[in-house]
Structure 1
Amino acid sequence: DVAIARDLRRMGDSHDPDDPHFAAFKAATLKRYGAARVEDLPVNYKGLLALEGERLTAALFDRYAAESFAVQARQNAVVAGASAISPAIALRSLSMAAAGTDLSGHRRFLEQAERYRYALVQRLNRMQAEGVAYADDTATDAGADRRKRVDAANWRAMPDFAFRPAGPGTLARAALPGLAVVLLWLTAASALLAFATYRLGARR
């Protein structure tokens, strides 16, 4: 997306020493730890950069995701309005809401997955910041790769993703609008059937 790419460029480049945001971040980090150089920090500065970069980009993507969901919600409202002229649309809305596969359910899954992804990435970045020395992280000698490795226990401690679906009460409330429209259609159909039956009986 062009707008996202534009905002990412405006956000800054952690690899550019002259970038205003990350230059300020570096200065604030050195001041916080009372260090003169990143090499003197008690943590790996590359890991701190990764933490900050992920925080910024995740916030940007969250904002665009929220805007996208708002647009989709407005579109769904238009479609829901069309259920007044089509019982199929009303029935579709009812079944999707009851099954948790409507826009709300879709958003619920994506937001939980994103929170898991963000926590996982930041956990990895924190490992780099706290578990890998800056000198090793920037080294290029033959044994550098081995020194950059973290203990396998860190990977085993990674939690699995577990989706938490909406509860029965939430699903029932979401299905109520569609159910109301379907009932109106059934009532109208029953009334028309009764009227037609009456007319046929009267002709006899």
Structure 2
Amino acid sequence: HKWENEITKDDIDLICFSIDFYLSLITINEDRKEEKELTAYVKVDKRKTLIKMKELTFEELLYQSYHCLERKDIQKMRNENVKLDLTNMKDDIIESDKDVKREFKKNKPSFKITWTPLQPIINEKTKTIKNALVMTIAISEYNDKTKWPNLPNVKEDLINFKQLFEKELNYEFECNKSPHMKKTDVQSFLAELVVNHRLHKNTNNMMD
């Protein structure tokens, strides 16, 4: 062909530039297409936020959804003891990769954040404590100090126990007054405790 002999170096540079430009346009279009496919909206109460997914997985959707939360949403989760769940706009639960891929086949995929109360874990071994009474015998001073040294930290332990059981848990709390007790003192303390709290009526069911 005659035109083959008429191509100059400038023509070759122009052709190469045109090819590179065309390829870059194709790449940009593909990226935009992929970006469009992985774009969705997440609705939190009345707010609607655009998210861009890196992959079509439930884990990625959950990750992006948490980024849509504001400070007040985090406070709501703490104060009301609720957790985040995801649904589509028809309130169908989203909980798997399959669910996510199904929604992204739609023209405009959208999701909603719902708040679900956290339920306490209850098993068959769980028991309810009523009318709790905590009794502590704290002996920290001994006659024979060479064999049994005194325990000065026990007084501080008693203060902590009293704070926990009596102040925080609202249990009845009883402890010995003297840090030095003999066997007969312990027996008297227990007998007085039984009488004062009428524990002799409670021997068959200590949990009532």
TM over 0.5: no
Larger Rg: 2
TM-score of the superposed pair, with normalisation by structure 2:
0.23
Greater fraction strand: 2
Greater fraction helix: 1
